Structure 1
Amino acid sequence: MADIAFPEDLIALETTAWEEIQAGRLTVETATAVQTRLTEFAAEAGVDRYTAEMGLKRAVRHPEPAEG
């Protein structure tokens, strides 16, 4: 799967959702905000929404360690 450059606002939304999931308190509002923005982003970027969603989850939940 190709690396996708996600905008900071989408990363922030998914990060909030992931934190809520881990705390057992994901709200419909948060989930809807992520899906709405993700769908917009996928259309703008010309990528499949499913591919974008999997890449976003990977980027937030399993970030690559920084090289250095």
Structure 2
Amino acid sequence: MADIDIPQHLIDLESTAWTEQQKSRLTVNSAAAVQQAVREHAAAAGVSRYQVEAALKRAVRHPES
């Protein structure tokens, strides 16, 4: 998979959602904000939103990889 540039605002949104999820407190608003930002970034970058989402989750959930 090609390297995908993940802007800081996406990392911040996903970090918030991931923290909420780990505490079993994920809100619809947090999840929707991440998905909307992923869709917008994917469209602007001309890549699949699935690739953006996978790269984003990897960056937030497994930063050491």
Provide the TM-score with structure 2 as the length reference.
Answer: 0.94
Q: How does 1:41-60 map to 2 (within 5 A)?
A: 41-60=41-60
After superposition, the C-alpha distances for 1:5-52 in whole angstroms (9 at most, x for unaligned) are 111111000000000000000000000000001000000111101111
Distance 1:63 1:14 in 2: 13
Secondary structure of the 1:26 match is coil
Q: Secondary structure at the match of 1:6?
A: coil
Larger displacement relative to structure 2 (2-11 or 35-44): 2-11
Q: Any unmatched runs of 5+ in structure 2? A: none
Where in structure 1 are there 5+ consecutive unaligned residues? none
Asked which structure has the greater CA Rg, the reply is 1
**Secondary structure at 1:20's aligned position in 2?**
helix
What fraction of aligned residue pairs are identical, expressed as a percent?
62
Question: Is the aligned partner of 1:27 residue 2:34?
Answer: no
Q: Which residue is equivalent to 1:8?
A: 8
Give 1:58's aligned amino acid. Answer: R
Distance in structure 1 (CA, Å) of the matches to 2:18 and 2:2 = 22
Alignment-derived partner of residue 61 in structure 2: 61
